[in-house]
Structure 1
Amino acid sequence: MSVPKVLFVCVHNAGRSQMAAAFLRHHGGDRVIARSAGSAPADTVNPAVVEVMAERGIDLSGEQPKKLTTESVERSDVVITMGCGDACPVVPGTRYLDWKLDDPAGRPAGEIRPIRDEIERRVQELLSELTGAAATVSAAGAAPA
């Protein structure tokens, strides 16, 4: 059985999609391949996002926003969009999900934490669905719901 490949897409690839891919890598290990991209990538990952992810033991300081390409979609089994509209190419045979989530851009860390926690919850559900295995316990010690 091949390892599921998941692509998370948002507009700037500086917040939501970066958090989602990082959580999937963190909880999924070698059971999944997680990537992220943006339809109009920012220059850097949102510093407040880097801060709230560090609270969970996940370092995003070395990540760089990446441009969404048709090739990245073609190499994915599942594409999860988060507010990128119609910018994502549609590839037959690829599963698409749209996660409605608030954009962390311009928000302080205190307002990003609930977004981060909701992304982690959804990633854990996705991981369970894709691999049939429960996600690991988060660095904060909360068991998956």
Structure 2
Amino acid sequence: MQSAYAKDLVWQLTLRDAADEEILAAVHQVNLRESRGEDPAAELGSAAEYAATFSGQRPSPARSRWVTVAGILAVAWLIGTAVAVERFGFDPPVPDRLFALLGALLLLCVGVGVAFVAALSRARRATARIATH
């Protein structure tokens, strides 16, 4: 059973996109301190402070990929709407620019939402992996 401190540390490191090896090493340090009866918060500071000491931050490939795809789709939506309005006389129910911007914003929100879900999924996997070690 993991302590609340270890669980918070896993979450903090996952938010910082730390490597799995870093997460395992950090939780191992916390578990060692707790097994000796020490308070990890007193020694290491809060989980967020301890997580900030890890330098191996790297962008999450899944998050970067989804945000990139959403950005490309949003730009394509803006260009497509402009072409449809100019070339084919497409008349959306709202002003053209507003229609284009709302569509692009919706696509960006979907991409960011998918990236967030990917990050949560990664956090769950990391927590499960650490719980089994």
Q: TM-score, normalized by length of structure 1?
A: 0.26
Structure 1 or 2: more helix by fraction? 2
Structure 1 or 2: more strand by fraction? 1
Larger radius of gyration between Structure 1 and Structure 2:
2
Q: TM-score, normalized by length of structure 2?
A: 0.28
